[in-house]
Amino acid sequence: MGLKLNITATSLLLLLASAAEVACDTIFYVTKYGERADGNTDISQALLKAWGDACSSPVASTVMTPDGTYALGQITIGGPCKAPINFIVQGTVKAPMDTRRFKAEAGWIAFQQIDQFTLSGGGVFDGQGKTVWGTKCPSSAYCNQLPILSSCIYMLMFNFITNSMVKDITSRDSKQFHINLLGCKNLTFYNVVISAPEESLNTDGIHIGRSSGINITDSTIETGDDCVSIGDGSEQINMQRVTCGPGHGISVGSLGKYPNEEPVVGISVKNRTLTNTQNGVRVKTWPASHQGTAYEMHFEDIVMNNVGNPIIIDQEHCPHNQCNLKIPSRIKLSSVSFRNIRGTTSTQVAVKLVCSQGVPCEDVELGDINLKYKGNEGHAMSQCKTIKPNLLGTQLPRTRA
Ligand SMILES: *[C@@H]1O[C@H](CO)[C@@H](O)[C@H](O)[C@H]1NC(C)=O
Ligand SMILES: *[C@@H]1O[C@H](CO)[C@@H](O)[C@H](O)[C@H]1NC(C)=O
Ligand SMILES: *[C@@H]1O[C@H](CO)[C@@H](O)[C@H](O)[C@H]1NC(C)=O
């Protein structure tokens, strides 16, 4: 009897010991897989091996890239994994200068099909974009002419990532788009810094497409293009305490260019500051467009510092005059509000609501708009076409046009 008990106790101890061992082994240091932090050696292979081991771990695990400077080529970091997984980046990870051999329309780093994933660590993803800024995207014909770009380059792609978190990281000097989301659900960005200089065209901050439950909070976006752009099929996108600028502001759209676009539903932008941006908050759709809808879009408690076009709905969005303005947009916009928007505007028309004559906007509200024009030709004005917004509180005078 006593002996039997002893055996059980011993095996229990052994079991505990091996559990402890598993717990210790759940941090996979990329440096133990032959990675060198010399800033030149490509760490792709080491990272893939560390990721593979972590991803097949039956308990929660961490891939760790300690402080240092690393070079990393094009890579897909993919799931599904067996348990929750963290990727901690403490150092600086640098993209190649020459991306001619990158797969077309892919990202530099693609995170794909991972559930319960956390990317964190205070590290920096450096796109080394300086040499290609100002070049057009996504017209691949144009891209092909470039010496070192074969196609549109997204820096960090999140494809089909669910129940996950990205926090305390910096994305710097992307070649083109910084962050692109596709098919993600319940993904939060917290304390993320995105930075590229004002003159770096096409370096959009975060583009969201066909994703739902996306929160962006307490983050800073400085870039040469849209800070955040929201494409079709985006639902329940919340942004709070995000600063933007320089850049082109935050935009929903352009919608309606392609057939079968999915609705945009439930956009909330709150407690946000925009500084020296070309635009503030805007919703844009193409004229002569395909059918679609966008509704429940609310912009609230926003401070504009020297912002051009602070509030815009533009259903005649037609860059480079490539469209037929005689045919109205077929994107139906409804339930849109702009409340408590204050600060300064660098264009005299501070509020511009141009709705479709085919499917006029419904239920658009303007509440407490306190914007001062910085120029000396008079007051800030508002302009409306095919729309009678519900007006609450302070408003700007209308233009005659
Ligand atoms: C969303 O993801 C977080 C992890 O970031 C998780 O804790 C939470 O339960 C998820 N929410 C839902 C509704 O699944
Ligand atoms: C995202 O933001 C919304 C609105 O602020 C909030 O209700 C929700 O709980 C947030 N989700 C996560 C996963 O933090
Ligand atoms: C955001 O919220 C904080 C704290 O509630 C407040 O102090 C700040 O003025 C708000 N900013 C904007 C832009 O509304």
pLDDT value of position 400: 65
The pLDDT confidence band at residue 318, using thresholds 50, 70 and 90, is: confident
The pLDDT confidence band at residue 25, using thresholds 50, 70 and 90, is: low
pLDDT value of position 136: 54
Answer yes or no: is 376 within a domain: yes
Measured between alpha carbons, how far is 339 from 342 in angstroms, rounded to an integer?
Answer: 9
How many distinct structural domains can be found in the chain? 2
Instruction: Let me know whether 270 and 346 are in one domain.
Output: yes
DSSP state letter for 11: H
* Residue 308 near residue 347, CB atoms below 8 Å: yes
Last-in-domain residue among 154, 181, 211: 211
Instruction: Let me know whether 291 and 353 are in one domain.
Output: yes
DSSP state letter for 261: P
What is the mean predicted confidence (pLDDT) over 150-159? 78
The pLDDT confidence band at residue 21, using thresholds 50, 70 and 90, is: very low
Instruction: Let me know whether 207 and 293 are in one domain.
Output: no
Instruction: Let me know whether 198 and 327 are in one domain.
Output: no
Answer yes or no: is 395 within a domain: yes
Order the strands of the 206-209 sheet from edge to edge: 75-78, 107-112, 154-159, 179-182, 206-209, 228-230, 250-255, 281-285, 311-314, 349-354, 381-385
User: How many CA atoms lie less than 13 Å away from 343 in the CB half-sphere?
Assistant: 25
User: How many CA atoms lie less than 13 Å away from 267 in the CB half-sphere?
Assistant: 32
85 CA → ligand 1 middle, Å: 14
Instruction: Let me know whether 206 and 290 are in one domain.
Output: no
Answer yes or no: is 62 within a domain: yes
What is the mean predicted confidence (pLDDT) over 138-143? 45
Radius of gyration of the chain (CA): 24
Instruction: Let me know whether 262 and 201 are in one domain.
Output: no
Measured between alpha carbons, how far is 364 from 315 in angstroms, rounded to an integer?
Answer: 14
Question: Structural domain of residue 80, as residue ranges?
Answer: 1-166+192-211
Query: Residue 41: which CATH number?
Result: 2.160.20
Answer yes or no: is 216 within a domain: no
Nearest Cα to Cα of residue 110 among 168, 47, 199: 47
Instruction: Let me know whether 243 and 322 are in one domain.
Output: yes
Whole-prediction pTM: 0.88
Substitution site in 186, 211, 214, 216 for ligand 1 pocket (most atoms within 8 Å of beta carbon)? 186
Instruction: Let me know whether 249 and 349 are in one domain.
Output: yes
Query: Could you tell me the two tokens for 303?
Result: 């401070």
Query: Residue 275: which CATH number?
Result: 2.160.20.10
Facing residues of 193 across strands?
170, 220
Answer yes or no: is 174 within a domain: no
Measured between alpha carbons, how far is 208 from 216 in angstroms, rounded to an integer?
Answer: 11
Query: Could you tell me the two tokens for 382?
Result: 């508002």
pLDDT value of position 237: 98
Instruction: Let me know whether 161 and 262 are in one domain.
Output: no
Answer yes or no: is 145 within a domain: yes
Facing residues of 149 across strands?
99
Answer yes or no: is 232 within a domain: yes
Last-in-domain residue among 211, 241, 274: 211
**Residue 391 or 103, more confident:** 391
295-304 per-position pLDDT tens digit: 999 999 999 9
**Catalytically active residues, by annotation:** 248
254 CA → ligand 2 middle, Å: 25
Instruction: Let me know whether 119 and 256 are in one domain.
Output: no
User: Both ends of the chain: CA-CA distance in Å?
Assistant: 97
273 CA → ligand 3 middle, Å: 9
Query: Could you tell me the two tokens for 208?
Result: 């969201």
What is the mean predicted confidence (pLDDT) over 244-251? 90
DSSP state letter for 103: P
Instruction: Let me know whether 253 and 346 are in one domain.
Output: yes
Ligand closest in space to the Cα of 341: 3
**Residue 154 or 315, more confident:** 315
Residue at 222: amino acid letter: E
* Residue 172 near residue 127, CB atoms below 8 Å: yes
The pLDDT confidence band at residue 323, using thresholds 50, 70 and 90, is: confident
Instruction: Let me know whether 67 and 199 are in one domain.
Output: yes
Nearest Cα to Cα of residue 251 among 310, 291, 306: 310
Segment among 33-47, 75-89, 246-260, 273-287 with least mean pLDDT = 33-47
Last-in-domain residue among 155, 184, 211: 211
* Residue 337 near residue 300, CB atoms below 8 Å: yes
What is the mean predicted confidence (pLDDT) over 312-328? 88
Answer yes or no: is 205 within a domain: yes
